[in-house]
Amino acid sequence: MANSILDTIAREIKSQAGALEIPAQAKNTVLNGLSDSILGSLTQTITKVGGVEQVKALLTGNTTADKSPITALAGSLFTNNVLKNLKLGNLLNGQLAALIPAVMGKLSGILKDQDGDGDVDFQDILLTLKGAGATKTQSQIGGGLLGGILGKVLGGTR
């Protein structure tokens, strides 16, 4: 089974952000903000009408990250919820915002037939979110994300 989306996002954020000089006092906020923004855009999208198809298109590579509304939403979330509050300067803010499409692009192709039924469907998205062989912490995060998405999609209160 493929790595979870959480694994891929964390790995790519660390890799992409490593080349930037992020002030030490802001580094954790920036890295967590990138992850939260990307996961938030996936969660918000999947709960909308047609959202499952948008997520599926992005994660299978049928839509490129730079053309995906999910990427645009992640960028907006990151800018409005993180960068606006940190005041790191226009140059660094631009460099950090540019990480979103790069990280989202690495999600392309992560979604495959996980459940062996011969197609890529909602169940495969959920299995990819959860991931196989995740650590306890990753499973808790993935399970919380998975539970939150399921609750929204199925009309629960989570």
pLDDT digits (tens, 9 = 90+) for 31-73: 999 999 998 998 899 889 999 889 888 888 888 999 999 999 9
What is the predicted pLDDT for the residue at 90?
A: 92
- Total domains in the chain come to 1
Nearest C-alpha neighbor of 16 from the set 106, 137, 111: 106
What is the predicted pLDDT for the residue at 11?
A: 87
Could you read off the pLDDT of 14-24 as tens digits, one per residue? 888 888 898 99
Could you read off the pLDDT of 92-151 as tens digits, one per residue? 999 999 999 999 988 877 766 666 666 666 676 666 666 544 444 444 444 455 454 444
C-beta pairs of 27-36 under 8 Å, 24+ apart in sequence: 29/82, 29/86, 30/82, 30/86, 30/96, 33/78, 33/81, 33/82, 33/83, 34/78, 34/82, 34/96, 34/99, 34/100, 34/103, 35/9, 35/10, 36/77, 36/81
What is the predicted pLDDT for the residue at 128?
A: 65
- Give the span between the Cα atoms of 155 and 91, in whole angstroms: 42
Q: Which residue segment(s) compose the domain that 73 sits in?
A: 5-154
pTM of the entire predicted model: 0.74
